[in-house]
Chains A and B, each alone.
Chain A
Amino acid sequence: MRNFRGRPVLGAIFGFLFFFFVALDLLFFGIVPLKSAVITILPIVGIFVGLAWARWAPLGGRREPSDAPPAY
């Protein structure tokens, strides 16, 4: 857990849900047929994407304050 800069539990749960809804979008808009395994595989992939997203955590970080005095 210490390797995660973001929120891994939130990332795993909502990665699953987000990719589940993406799979439903693909189904309901006629891009994949009902029997396609993409519908069951995508949510599983979403868990790992959510974890990777939480580990990377590219949002909300502040820059290191500079020690150098401002130049006038």
Chain B
Amino acid sequence: MVKRVLLGFAALSLAGLFVFVDAAPAPAVVSSGCQGTGDFEKSGHHYTAADAGVDEVPLEDTVHWQGSIDTAATEQAYSGSIEVQLPWPLPAMQIDSWKGSSDSTSNKGDKHYKLPSSVPRNVEFEVTGKHTQGITCTGHVTVVVAGSAFDSPAAPASLIGTVLTGGVLALAGRVKGGGVA
């Protein structure tokens, strides 16, 4: 009996994997009127606003970035934000925002970043952004941090949690007081 139950669970889990696998990730999309590029110094990646597919970024690097917007070069207010999409029904998490006034229609710079080592690798994050300056540009990109699942302590910790809670869940299926079946 126990064998059949375990076999059933295994079959259910395997079927679940195929049912829940999502379709291919959406490409990076930026609405017309804006352009941008990013060159990663160590990894050598070159990404543009028009790239399709998933952008893989290293845990630490320096990015040489530049961006421009097709609008009149007159003093005008600007604002924008970047958000990470979280699972339904949670709201998107804002990771940066900006606002002010400028007559510049382009910008560039270097940004060194270092993500915490606990950040899970190979997980797809959908990042959306918006910038308004005369016109409004919107865009989204799918980003993964390079590496394998076991480069972060999150995956092994999750596996241990699965085994432990699965064991206790199995105990809930024991007949109370060792009663007669």
- In B3-21, the 8 Å CB interface with A consists of 5, 13, 17, 20-21
Q: Report whether over half of chain B's contact residues are helix, strand or loop; otherwise say mixed.
A: mixed
The A/B interface has a contact count, at CB < 8 Å, of 149
The stretch of B38-46, B63-71, B122-130 in contact with A is: B122-130
Known: A7-B174, A62-B180. A33 touches B169 (CB 8 A): no
Which listed residue, B13, B85, B171, touches A34 by the CB 8 Å rule? B85
Q: Is B174 a contact partner of A40 (Cβ separation < 8 A)?
A: no
In this complex, the interface size class of chain A, counting residues with CB under 8 Å from chain B, is 35 or more
Q: Is A8 a contact partner of B172 (Cβ separation < 8 A)?
A: yes
A interface residues with partner B (beta carbon < 8 Å): 4-8, 10-11, 14-15, 17-18, 20-22, 24-40, 50, 53-54, 56-64
Q: How far is the CB of B18 from chain A (nearest CB, A)?
A: 10
Q: How far is the CB of B74 from chain A (nearest CB, A)?
A: 38
Q: Give Cα A23 to B136, complex, Å.
A: 36
Residues on the B chain within 8 Å of A56, using CB? 173
Interface centre among B2, B176, B180 (most CB of A within 10 A): B176
Q: Give Cα A44 to B119, complex, Å.
A: 25
